[in-house]
C-alpha cells in the first residue's frame, strides 16, 4: 500500500509539474520574463533548439530573431499577439507557421531561403513588409495586399515593367526595390 501511495504521489507531482506554466524564459544563457512585450534576440547565434520555449511568450508584441541560424519558426505559431516580427538573416525555408499571426503589422523576412510567400495574404493587418529574393507567386500576391503602406523588396528579379505594375497596384504604398552590388 505504501508503494502504491508513493507511486501515486510521484505521478501527481509529475502531472502538477507538467501543467505549470513557466514565468521566465532562458534563451542562450539569458533570462527573460514571460511578461516582457519586447524581445530583441538578434545576432545571438540562436538555433532551433534555443527558441523552442518561445511558445510560452504569449505577451510578446515585438520579437526580433534576426541574424541567427534558425531554420524552423514553428515555436512562433501560437504567438498571436505579435505585431512586429523580424526573422531576417536566418536559414528559414518556410513561413507557413506565420499564418495564425493575424495581428502582425510589420514583418521582416529578408535574407532567408524562403521560396513561397503565399501565406502573407493570410495576414490582414500587415502594413510593412521587408523581404528579399525571387518568388514565383510574389508579384501577383503582393498586388492583392492593398493594406501595405511600406514594402522593401531586395533581389526581386523583377523587370522595370513589373515594378511599375506593382507600384500601380499599390498606390498608397512606399516601395523600395534594390539589387545588391556584386
> How far apart, in whole angstroms, are the C-alpha atoms of residue 135 and residue 57?
31
Q: How far is CA 15 from the centre of its chain?
A: 32
Cell of 141: 500576391
Mean pLDDT of the chain: 88
* pLDDT (tens digit per residue) in 92-104: 999 999 999 999 9
pLDDT one-digit tens code per residue, 8-29: 566 655 555 554 556 888 888 8
Nearest to 82 by CA among 30, 126, 47: 126
Q: Please give the grid coordinates belonging to residue 19.
A: 501543467
Give pLDDT tens digits for 59-73: 999 999 999 999 999
What's the burial of 70, exposed, middle or buried (CB within 10 Å: 0-12/13-18/19+)? buried
Q: Structural domains in the chain?
A: 23-178 (3.80.10.10)
Decide: 65 and 41 in contact? Cβ < 8 Å. Answer: yes
Amino acid at each position: 500500500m505504501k508503494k502504491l501511495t508513493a507511486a501515486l504521489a510521484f505521478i501527481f507531482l509529475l502531472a502538477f509539474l507538467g501543467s505549470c506554466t513557466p514565468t521566465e524564459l532562458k534563451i542562450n544563457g539569458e533570462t527573460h520574463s514571460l511578461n516582457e512585450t519586447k524581445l530583441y534576440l538578434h545576432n545571438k547565434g540562436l538555433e532551433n533548439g534555443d527558441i523552442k520555449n518561445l511558445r510560452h511568450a504569449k505577451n510578446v508584441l515585438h520579437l526580433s530573431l534576426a541574424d541567427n541560424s534558425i531554420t524552423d519558426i514553428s515555436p512562433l505559431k501560437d504567438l498571436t499577439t505579435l505585431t512586429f516580427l523580424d526573422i531576417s538573416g536566418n536559414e528559414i525555408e518556410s513561413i507557413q507557421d506565420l499564418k495564425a499571426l493575424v495581428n502582425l503589422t510589420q514583418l521582416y523576412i529578408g535574407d532567408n531561403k524562403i521560396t513561397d510567400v503565399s501565406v502573407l495574404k493570410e495576414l490582414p493587418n500587415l502594413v510593412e513588409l521587408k523581404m528579399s529574393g525571387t518568388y514565383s507567386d510574389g508579384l501577383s500576391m503582393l498586388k492583392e495586399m492593398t493594406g501595405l503602406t511600406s514594402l522593401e523588396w531586395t533581389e526581386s528579379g523583377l523587370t522595370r515593367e513589373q515594378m511599375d505594375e506593382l507600384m500601380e497596384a499599390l498606390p498608397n504604398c512606399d516601395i523600395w526595390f534594390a539589387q545588391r552590388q556584386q
